[in-house]
Structure 1
């Protein structure tokens, strides 16, 4: 997410228990956050919220057998801890550092961790930060190297979406109106930042266009039953719209839209179910052709000096 990122490691695996593996996941988390934040700031969007550019972790997010490696690898304390600050962000300007522990948000204490594991405390922190940003300037009470201090963070507008890396081996990404989630496998599959920007921009477009709410209102099932009845065509329409919008979001943020056709081909050859498709997505050849046509339209807008809008 672009306010406070969560790396959802609640189940142990051999690579997750390795400190080097944890650091690699955080590096990929930062990559997702940085690209998502850049896309969110470029818009266009109607629902805006200031992004401080923090990546915060909480030790109780981790399964008990992962907590010692997480402390060692990421420097987590007993309170929610900043593990990364995005370059050029409001948090960076304010001087926040990895290792700072969050004590209070606009004078309200961070909720205690009253469970052995889970996201309850981070959900509370997240809500406090969003409420503070909605009011304007954010004041964070911190502990740094054992000393208490308060840091004020200025406002930076961006589209209202939280970007999140989800460890997992499937080539998967999703959007639910609030979050954009990208699996670790898909983030790794993206060979360049431009390719990852295409993935994130596609999911961000779903949120900006209210696709979840639209499909919910129409009673459209997703997942296992997505391909049944009229639902498939409705889901497919939102996917086509997200493909198209993704290119405009990329162009506005300064990413290379020329990466899209080759990515859709490479991704399609790896993941396209072919004749077993449920009809909710275009085949990769169609996606490539539509991307090439839309790129030509965007190039024409850029050449004319016109606004880059879908």
Structure 2
């Protein structure tokens, strides 16, 4: 019955089919093009990840005093192996970096312990400590050793460059322990979840300079250091409990509405605080903040509906003037030789 029905649908819709006679497509050429596009996508992902984490390294390492216990000793390097790639990208990864069982260094952050030790993109990590990384078990053990070494002791690596092995020693450096992840998404957005910082590929394209990208990362770092996620979760819980109490009284379940309303309490204030504190984080990392507010003029062009009306976030005009005021405050403290610390309520 299903087969007959499908045939009837196909016959009925046949009149709506394309009318042109398409030329034959070479399937081998299509596969070659598919591989080329995968390679372009992988290269661009690595390029964006490198830029994101290079800027992030400066912001995270300059503001450890604001991160409390959320700090770690890190090396300033990103490495991957073919097995860590999605299945469709593994042949491309091996084409770019060779077929071998080792991690390859993809990115070395400027002015990081890895950079000072002389590591370079393309180096193979063939041993961590005395653990050879040619087998999965040894690679896992080596990575565990690297994590333990992050307590502050130097880490010894054996790297292979152009077929020649070399032993290097890296002394780690403290940074804020908030990993920065690139999310493949066209929306112009970034977020913090209390433990990480997430930046979309759309935001990477929109943030035209590293100064603007630093402003985004400083803002999201401030969300984490100021515990905004935890505060909003608490507000949502209180709103839910109040909603349950009212639901019992009126006989209609509004607990979810209560939670939603509770979660929005202080939402705009949290965003304004993240802009303010984040401006200090960016300045401490050595990025200029004098023109930082212009980012929100560009955002207003991208999202004109947010110029005069905010929802969970303040409107872009308010954010512009708020960051301008924060930048002036930073400049005044610099001129007076005062520490670059945001003003806090008593």
Q: Which TM-score band applies after superposition, normalised by the shorter structure? A: 0.7 to 0.9
CA contact (8 A) 1:226 1:235 kept: no
SS of residue paired to 1:260: coil
CA root-mean-square deviation: 3.5
- CA–CA distance in structure 1, aligned partners of residues 132 and 232 of structure 2: 38
CA contact (8 A) 1:102 1:140 kept: yes
Give the CA deviation at 1:246: 1.2
Unpaired runs of 5+ in structure 1? 1-12, 115-120
Correspondence 1:43-82 to 2 at 5 A: 43=63, 44-47=66-69, 48-74=71-97, 77-82=100-105
* Higher normalized helix content (fraction of residues): 2
CA contact (8 A) 2:35 2:92 kept: no
Q: 1:98 to 1:89 in 2, by over 3 A?
A: same
- CA–CA distance in structure 1, aligned partners of residues 305 and 142 of structure 2: 41
Aligned to 1:31: 51
Give the CA deviation at 1:240: 1.6
1:170 to 172, 177, 187: 187
Which region of structure 1 is more displaced relative to structure 2, 27-36 or 103-112? 103-112
Give the CA deviation at 1:254: 1.6
- CA–CA distance in structure 1, aligned partners of residues 291 and 53 of structure 2: 20
Give the CA deviation at 1:177: 2.8
CA contact (8 A) 1:54 1:82 kept: yes
1:292 to 310, 321, 324: 324
2:177 to 137, 156, 160: 160
Aligned to 1:183: 200
- CA–CA distance in structure 1, aligned partners of residues 144 and 304 of structure 2: 38
Give the CA deviation at 1:183: 1.2
Higher relative contact order by CA 8 Å / sep ≥ 6: 1 or 2? Answer: 1
CA contact (8 A) 2:155 2:169 kept: yes
User: How many matched pairs?
Assistant: 290
Aligned to 1:205: 222
Aligned to 1:6: none
Q: 1:22 to 1:200 in 2, by over 3 A?
A: same
Which region of structure 1 is more displaced relative to structure 2, 226-235 or 42-51? 226-235
Give the CA deviation at 1:74: 5.0
- CA–CA distance in structure 1, aligned partners of residues 52 and 124 of structure 2: 22
Aligned to 2:14: none
1:151-177 CA distances to partner (integer Å, 9 max, x unpaired)? 321122222222222222111212223
1:67-125 CA distances to partner (integer Å, 9 max, x unpaired)? 222222355743332112123321122222323333554446669659xxxxxx99997
Aligned to 1:5: none
Correspondence 1:1-310 to 2 at 5 A: 17-43=37-63, 44-47=66-69, 48-74=71-97, 77-107=100-130, 129-145=146-162, 150-219=167-236, 228-271=260-303, 273-274=305-306, 279-310=311-342
Give the CA deviation at 1:127: 6.0
CA contact (8 A) 2:237 2:259 kept: no
Q: 1:139 to 1:213 in 2, by over 3 A?
A: farther
- CA–CA distance in structure 2, aligned partners of residues 236 and 256 of structure 1: 25
- CA–CA distance in structure 2, aligned partners of residues 279 and 39 of structure 1: 28
TM-score of the pair, normalised by structure 2: 0.72
- CA–CA distance in structure 2, aligned partners of residues 37 and 133 of structure 1: 16
Give the CA deviation at 1:243: 0.8
TM-score of the pair, normalised by structure 1: 0.79
